[in-house]
Structure 1
């Protein structure tokens, strides 16, 4: 039996921080108490004194690039980076090659991850204008949900038919997650700037092309559709202040039919950073103004935004060095997301309890993930130890994403992930990943 006893930790769970011990047996948490003594000589003891023990983060939006785009990243490389960053479960998106828009192609991704993923995994079914029949075959027990691209991003999965959207929203009980930007607005803006600059548009105009209006117009429309049809809607990567009035904090999360996510890059960067970071912070939706960033933080704290995620989407540096119209959007973030939020704690923007709520508890609740996202007896031991006073700098040699770069390169974080446990196994310990993947397929408490 695998038995690990974590001693003297500051345990963070459900809005509380308390000193205590946690006993793991095999995959599960079996005891949480003020003090626990080792019941066996074979029990591995880890002294976490002075450090925080948090549930592993659940990242509800990543792009790990397998199959078809593995020169950028793959399930093994990116999940290794995830566990090094304290992310123990992830939900991967369908815009791989081929797109996961049939049950057969979706299941192939699960087979790829089995035995290879260092973190627990689920893969979203992809929606198109004409695959409703395949969507309706999706098993809600073992698939996280349905992903729709309302604005074209990386891949060819644009859903731009109002009739198709109406049918999908009216027909499925799956959680529907959307990339919400209005395609016609984006295209018109792009053409305007191409007339002036050709392909080499200065990246500082990215937030004018992927504009506030493009986001707002799309989000108003899709929320209206969700309300009309009663569909369960989750809006990915909100980036504008204007959209925030469309979401509520007046009802408990469990009763919300419409939920929202914000990503690390929209909380960290602003349009002023394009001057130094260039295409490295080119994302869709675009990083916008300081005022937008401030409003996103306010909405995250007051409950209009429910989840913090990464939208981890690696590209090679060579690809990023292309002129604006050829440089892809997206970047690697899983390894640095949790410590970035702890940096915000040091800056007085957010409490540690709230970080855990937004990065572990709420994703588990929104997706109804079985026995994960909390430090509770009977739950899987997906746990992370964080030392908030152990600085480290992001350097090329300690970046684990396959693409080999990070928008945080050169930054020194005040906090460090020292240990990560996945399904009761210690998979990461002070910059070293144990090379035996322990990830399991996520299951969901749905019929």
Structure 2
């Protein structure tokens, strides 16, 4: 394939040729070869495919929310060419047998993928680490997150095992001992968008995250483990992770939404960790813009509309996001909040570096031909019913975003927005296999 006259993130206009899975040539002018597919990219910007290191595609066990087929379609339509699935499925991915079961389902992915292994009291690290595990985690450090929550002793065991296997550890850091139970007394018992969802932000207080991140960094340092903090929602936690040398991610909902949005979102804005104050959101954004934050990742956690319309204490936590992450970041570029090269670092280059994906995340000769073509001069309104996730909704409904025109995985077009949302299935591969 030959893409002509594409503007790269650094502003250069170049022709880019792909051969097999890789970027073969980048030059000011390349002649098309006999039979070669050519894409005229004049006036368009070519980006490396985004890498979302935190998704929940729900299989096995919760096919009503999402599947590998629907989740990866959503990823491709949003310019994400690699996803990493978390282990809290049903059953959880905590041993070799469960890993193999999920790997069979992941074969339906349109995009490349990694599969994380989980930690419970019943986990089997020996059989798990015999498989091509991407990372250990999301390891839950809060009992209220359900059957995946573990105590400090189990966490230290997991860190040691991961360090011995040279596998990074991703942590969901909240200290349940610091949750404010009295906050839920303010729950009106309402449902859907009328619920007093701000109670959830008060309940899972910022102090619970800050304390847990500090503890996780200390434990990882003692075990010699490589630590990654998931969905960091407070500027204080980002600073702690940065000082400790741990990488951290921020999710688009924590970057762009705050407690001020909960009156409209209701239980559709319930998530763990919850939305924070507008002041904290602004400080978090500053750390994303200035390079303190390493990675943007979605924590794509779809639930059905019926599930989210339950009362506050019954509705599940989580929001979808894999399809809107890159489009929302590109809108921030249009609006002047972020530079384009900073977005590339957050969504592609740094995730690749942090997790050892040496052939991904950059537009350079020899790298995987994971590419996204966008028109930065055009944005469109996000509509939940038009997205491709099975859940059919988004907390960003009505916002403007820049969606891809073309998404390419290892040299093959997997999504063509110019042809009425045309997908090509079955091209994804395990990046650790």
TM normalised by structure 2 equals 0.93
- Structure 2: distance between partners of 1:391 and 1:164: 47
Aligned to 2:247: 259
Match of 2:135 in 1: 145
Give the Cα–Cα distance (whole angstroms) in 1 for the partners of residues 126 and 29 of structure 2. Answer: 49
Structure 2 residue aligned with 1:216, among 206, 210, 213?
A: 210
Choose which of 153, 160, 171 in structure 1 pairs with 2:161: 171
The reply on whether 1:374 has 2:371 as its aligned counterpart is: no
The residue matched to 1:426 in structure 2 has which SS? Answer: strand
Whether the aligned pair in 2 keeps the contact of 1:154 and 1:329 (CA below 8 Å) is no
Shift of 1:6: 0.4
Aligned length: 423
Distance 1:397 1:166 in 2: 43
Does the aligned pair in 1 maintain the 2:214–2:241 contact within 8 Å?
Answer: no
Match of 1:324 in 2: 312
- 1:206 maps to 200
Task: Give the match for residue 233 of structure 2.
Answer: 239
Establish whether residue 426 from structure 1 lines up as the match of residue 413 from structure 2: yes
Q: Contact 1:370/1:442 (CA < 8 Å) preserved in 2?
A: no
**8 A contact 1:83–1:335 mirrored in 2:** yes
* 1:328 CA drift (Å): 0.7
Rounded Cα–Cα distance in structure 2 between residues aligned with 1:401 and 1:443: 25
- For residues 43-82 of structure 1, the C-alpha deviation after alignment (integer angstroms, 9 at most, x for no partner) is 1111111111011000000000111001001100010000
Q: Deviations over 1:140-162 (max 9, x none)?
A: 883211001112465510012x2
Matched, 1:159 2:147: no
Please give the per-residue CA displacement for 1:264-292, whole angstroms capped at 9, x wherever unaligned: 10011010000111111211001101111
Partners of 1:136 and 1:172 within 8 A in 2: no
* Structure 2 unaligned regions, length at least 5: none
Cα RMSD after superposing both structures: 1.9
The 8 Å contact of residues 232 and 257 in structure 1, kept in 2 or not, is answered as no
Distance in 2 (alpha carbons) for counterparts of 1:317 and 1:334: 17
* Distance in structure 1 (CA, Å) of the matches to 2:136 and 2:343: 26
Instruction: Provide Cα deviations, 1:335-393, integer angstroms capped at 9, x if missing partner.
Output: 11101001111222110001001100011111101411111222221100011112222
- Superposition deviation, residue 138 in structure 1: 3.9
Are residues 1:409 and 2:402 paired? no
Deviates more, 1:390-399 or 1:419-428: 390-399
| Residue of structure 1 in register with 2:301 after alignment | 313
Structure 1, unpaired ranges of 5+:
250-255
C-alpha distance in 2 between matches for 1:194 and 1:287: 15
Structure 1 match to 2:55 = 62
The TM-score with structure 1 as length reference comes to 0.90
Alpha-carbon distance, 1:110 to partner: 0.9
Distance 2:185 2:279 in 1: 29
Q: 1:129-184: CA deviations, max 9, x gaps?
A: 353xx224444883211001112465510012x22222222332210100000122
Contact kept, 8 Å, 1:130 with 1:164, in 2: the verdict is: no
Deviation, structure 1 residue 395: 2.5
Task: Pick the aligned partner of 1:52 from 29, 45, 51.
Answer: 45
Match of residue 113 from structure 2: 121
Q: CA deviation at 1:185?
A: 1.9
Mapped contact 1:84–1:433 kept (Cα < 8 A): no
Q: Does 1:437 align with 2:429?
A: no
Q: How far apart are the structure 2 equivalents of 1:203 and 1:264?
A: 19
Distance 2:344 2:130 in 1: 25
Mapped contact 1:95–1:154 kept (Cα < 8 A): no
